[in-house]
Amino acid sequence: MNDSIINWLLNAEPWVEYKTRLDLIGQSPKSNDIMSAKKKMINEPQIKSLFNEVQKWPNPPLKRHNDASHPIHKLAFLTDIGIKQDNEILCAILKKIINTQADDGGLQILVNIPTRFGGTGEDQFSWMLCDAPLLLYILLKSGMDVEKTAGRTVKLLKELVRDNGWPCSASQNLGKFRGPGRKSDPCPYANLLVVKALSQKTEWRDGKECRIGAETLLNLWEHRKETKPYLFGMGTRFKKLKAPLIWYDILHVVDVLSRLPWLRKDERLQEMVQIIIQKSNEEGKYYAESVWRAWGGWSFGQKKEPSAWITFLVYRILTRI
């Protein structure tokens, strides 16, 4: 990573500058430059607009997990750029999430599953393995002291894992709801989110369950031409760079797996990393190759100009590895 890339990132949006100083340069969180960048980030209009939207939590009810406009993904982005529990708005939402935790340990979200998919067709608090681990990740990433809450959720996650990773699982109050796949198959997206959450604490990151989930993701990549569990393929669309990290795609998968120190030399992971590296332009910058319409007003919501945020995400992966 050359100086011109660093300078470009430092002069990009405030959240890019802030994370570049923290994660790529390694400046102290208490340094004047870091504090100044964080202040600019908090006051940036687009970040303020996210805070306004997530204050509606737990509304609106989730109807599909790849709805990029849903508050769960905006909360994840806010914590990813470094917003912590000392922010009053975020803290209030986190407390709501904790207070609606299910008796079995699942972190719940307001959902509405149509009857034709096995749901009730009504708004209700529930959890699925394609949302509960993300809520756990948000809580942990915020820096909030949630030892009891997290412990109950992780206990549930450990009970649900199988030899081939996590299946499509949901709260009992959702009845017969299940994703479009065989019961014996692992759910790629669920495994991605669980590993993402478990990577936040060393004792979970290095544990048996996290290793099973990581191996499941790498095995899916290795056998991508023969298998497509729950309709999650790893072909052309999967390989397109996209932000924020919302769904099942190469940047999201590699970002999560690169957090596991014991995995970084794995040939399958390195193969995905090389695919990403080859996408840079002559200056070493990266473009969004696919975009979320809900984020169309953001710099990574277009494909004509290089994206500073996507470029940052790539170089953070390379820095880890």
List the chain domain ranges.
3-152+233-320
Rounded CA-CA distance 193/256 in Å is: 9
Q: Which helix (H) or strand (E) holds 126?
A: strand 124-126
pLDDT in tens, the chain (321 residues): 789 999 999 999 999 999 999 999 999 999 999 999 999 999 999 999 999 999 999 999 998 899 999 999 999 999 999 999 999 999 999 999 999 999 999 999 999 877 776 667 889 999 999 999 999 999 999 999 999 999 999 999 999 999 999 999 999 888 777 777 788 999 999 999 999 999 999 999 999 999 999 999 999 999 999 999 998 999 999 999 999 999 999 999 999 999 999 999 999 999 999 999 999 999 999 999 999 999 999 999 999 999 999 999 999 999 999
The Cα 319–Cα 285 span in angstroms is 15
pTM of the model: 0.96
Burial degree of 228 (CB within 10 A; 0-12, 13-18, 19+): middle
State residue 62 phi and psi, 5-degree precision.
-75, 130
What is the spatial distance between Cα 306 and Cα 283, in angstroms, rounded to a whole number?
Answer: 10
Q: Which contacts (CB < 8 Å, 24+ apart) does range 54-59 have?
A: 54/78, 54/89, 54/90, 54/93, 55/89, 55/92, 55/93, 57/93, 57/96, 57/97, 58/96, 58/100, 58/109, 58/110, 58/125, 59/110
57: alpha, beta or left? (left if phi > 0; alpha if psi -120 to 50): beta
Those residues with Cβ within 8 angstroms of residue 18's Cβ, 6 or more apart along the chain or in another chain: 34, 37, 38, 40, 41, 81, 82
